[in-house]
Amino acid sequence: MRVFGLTGGIATGKSTAVKYFKQLDPEVVVFDADACVKELYERREVIEAISALAGGECVGGDGRLDRDVLRGRLFAESGLREQIQSIVHPLVRKECLASLERSAMSVGTSSFIADVPLLFEGGFDFGQDANLVVAVRRETQVQRLIMRNGFDDVTVQAILEAQLPISEKQKCADVVFWNEGSEVVLRSQIQRFIENKYR
């Protein structure tokens, strides 16, 4: 079983890449760090720890995290972002390792891919064979965030500043999937990777 880390930046097409990995190799197991964080945000102990750091305004009347308020605070306050990441990231890594262990014990698993947005920023090492990056130009990220999400310029810049620039992620990558073209082009890159380097 091959083990990979997969990352990119917001609006680079990482989710599309994951979709093609699953289509082209039905035996792949993908660990989704974003989905893991969403589940962790439902845990009482995590809510209480975040509330203690960020204040009660991040918790709604139903006792659950108000993710929109929290997201705004995290993008605006780097110190708070680092504190909360220090709580959440070790838990995500623990869940990733548990998923990796289960996958290694499964006879049919061809490979394991951990889809982690902050793979490099968080020093997320789980014994992977290689790190894969989905990349576009920064200008493309900005355009996609404005058109797809309706964010204003200030929000876009705050989001991008919170992440390592794609150009830096490319330097850390073992393999880069360039996603400036159509989805067909991205799919063909992934297919070639699976055929040539995956096995």
Which pLDDT score is estimated for 22? Answer: 97
> Would you place residue 78 in the very low, low, confident or very high pLDDT band (cuts 50, 70, 90)?
confident
Question: Closest by alpha carbon to 124, among 133, 114, 132?
Answer: 114
DSSP string, 121-174: TTT--S--SEEEEEE--HHHHHHHIIIII---HHHHHHHHHTS--HHHHHHH-S
CATH number at residue 52: 3.40.50.300
The total number of structural domains in the chain stands at 1
* pLDDT per residue as tens digits for the range 124-135: 999 999 999 999
Which pLDDT score is estimated for 189? Answer: 97
* pLDDT per residue as tens digits for the range 81-123: 999 999 999 999 999 999 999 999 998 899 999 999 999 998 9
Residue 199 lies in a domain: no
- Amino acid (1-letter code) at residue 63: G
CA distance 118 to 132: 12
- Amino acid (1-letter code) at residue 190: I
Q: Which residues contact 96 (CB under 8 A, 6 or more apart)?
A: 31, 33, 36, 114, 116, 124, 126
Q: What are phi and psi of 100, to 5 degrees?
A: -60, -40
- Amino acid (1-letter code) at residue 98: A
Residue 131 lies in a domain: yes
Which pLDDT score is estimated for 154? Answer: 86
The boundaries of the domain holding residue 29 are: 2-194
Residue 121 lies in a domain: yes
Q: Helix, strand, or coil here: 189?
A: helix
Check the annotation: does 12 bind a ligand. Answer: yes
Check the annotation: does 11 bind a ligand. Answer: yes
Which pLDDT score is estimated for 4? Answer: 97
pTM of the model: 0.91
Check the annotation: does 13 bind a ligand. Answer: yes
E strand map for the chain: 2-7, 28-32, 111-115, 130-135, 175-178
CA distance 48 to 41: 10
Check the annotation: does 7 bind a ligand. Answer: no
Average pLDDT for residues 8-24, to the nearest whole number?
95
Higher-pLDDT residue of 154, 179: 179
CA distance 177 to 43: 35
> Would you place residue 15 in the very low, low, confident or very high pLDDT band (cuts 50, 70, 90)?
very high
Check the annotation: does 16 bind a ligand. Answer: yes
Q: Helix, strand, or coil here: 9?
A: coil
* pLDDT per residue as tens digits for the range 135-177: 999 999 999 999 988 888 888 888 888 889 999 999 999 999 9
Q: Which residues contact 177 (CB under 8 A, 6 or more apart)?
A: 17, 132, 133, 134, 135, 186, 189, 190, 193
Q: What 8-state DSSP symbol labels residue 68?
A: H
Residue 149 lies in a domain: yes
